[in-house]
Amino acid sequence: MLAETICSAVSAAGLGIAAVTAYRKRFLTATRIAAYSLVPIGLVLTGVVEWIAGIAFKPSVWLGFGVLGLSWLLFMTTRAIERRSGTTRAERKAARAAGRNEAVAPGASAPSLGAGVGAGPAATAAKPKKKQEAAAPGDDFSDIEAILKKHGI
């Protein structure tokens, strides 16, 4: 009831200001002021003001907004943690599936990081011979060890 009275008073005041503005021969501005001043009374007549007042004064509605805010906060927290780890849930799932299905050859002399079988002799000729001679069967992780030593791990 109070909200409707306030909206009606605001509309009446706005229409009064529009009349004074029109009296001063500023018809475009007066029309714009009249349009703005009719909005509150229009909201009262459509029932929007009563609906908003009903929402604003119910504790259950505010509890609902709190639950929605908490859910949004949890969602954003998990998204931030995923971004920091650098992987998404789909990538982790694919990695787990690949880890279960692939077997590692125990006697592999070097990791297969090259271009593959179809690369031909051009790929082997591009490699330095020192690297090939230095790679021994027990020396598979020398690059990794060098990186870890460099960082003091």
Q: 133 pLDDT band (50/70/90 cuts)?
A: low
Q: 137 pLDDT band (50/70/90 cuts)?
A: low
For residue 121, count CB atoms less than 10 angstroms from its CB and return exposed for 0-12, middle for 13-18, buried for 19 or more: exposed
pTM of the model: 0.42
Residue with tokens 């229009």: 42
Residue 44: how many other CB atoms lie within 10 Å: 18
Query: How far is Cα 35 from Cα 22, in angstroms, rounded to an integer?
Result: 13
Q: What pLDDT does 97 receive? A: 81
Q: What pLDDT does 49 receive? A: 86
Kindly state the average pLDDT of the residues 103-125.
Answer: 55
Query: How far is Cα 6 from Cα 13, in angstroms, rounded to an integer?
Result: 11
Is pLDDT above 60 for 94?
yes
Q: 23 pLDDT band (50/70/90 cuts)?
A: very high
107 CA to centre of own chain: 46
Identify residue 13 by its one-letter amino acid code: A
Percent of the chain with pLDDT over 70: 74
Q: 10 pLDDT band (50/70/90 cuts)?
A: very high
With a CB cutoff of 8 Å and minimum separation 6, the contacts of 61 are: 55
Is pLDDT above 80 for 107?
no
Of the listed ranges 27-36, 67-76, 95-104, the one predicted with least confidence: 95-104
For residue 135, count CB atoms less than 10 angstroms from its CB and return exposed for 0-12, middle for 13-18, buried for 19 or more: middle
Q: What pLDDT does 18 receive? A: 95
